[in-house]
A and B are shown apart, each in its own frame.
Chain A
């Protein structure tokens, strides 16, 4: 069974631009969560999607948005990029069933804003 796949692996963008990151969950997983990882701040929760609906949201500004498609693939968009948005963005998918269960992480997309 293929794992969680994130594309692209690396991105370099200029301040003020926007970016879209993609996440393909493990087959059969319907929950997809996104996290921002920076040194010293750990893994910060962005949002979680389940069956094309945003079910949970973290404390990030509205420049961060996401969506989920009918095949459970998810995209995350960041508009008006700032230098502080440079980070590793991880997505994770969880199997169906109970709400709280193991999250399987992708390799991440390393975003650098210059």
Chain B
């Protein structure tokens, strides 16, 4: 069945540095790839998404890249800030079914 692998499970970066989270998916028919951020005790919220007809998308300090041939996509956060500390989930969607990775806990070190 559909599967999304996410790495690393935990990531610590110095404030101001960049963070990269990588995901791979199994179903080549997936055509929508959202990223969600979940702060402690809160609901997941969409931070950026990309569709299969686009290779890269950027929104201020956040960017996502997609390689459909290799079936992998990545989240890049530049100039990290303390408020970026959270759990990040990648996902792949097909036909309304969204499959999530297991999450990456990002720690921003002062």
Contact = CB atoms under 8 A, between A and B. Distances in A.
A63 interface: no
Interface in B74-97: 89, 93-97
Nearest to B46: A102
B62 interface: no
Contact of B95 (A56, A59, A103): A56
A106 B102 CA distance: 19
B2 to A, nearest CB: 9
Q: Which of B6, B31, B101, B103 has the most CB of A within 10 A?
A: B103
A69 B49 CA distance: 30
Interface residues on B, range: 20 to 34
A4 B50 CA distance: 23
Contacts of A33: 96-98
Contacts of A101: 32
Contacts of B110: none
B45 interface: yes
B44 A105 contact: yes
B96 A43 contact: no
B25 to A, nearest CB: 13
Interface of B: 1, 6, 31-32, 34, 43-46, 49, 51, 89, 93-103
6 contacts: A33-B98, A43-B44, A48-B96, A59-B1, A100-B94, A103-B46
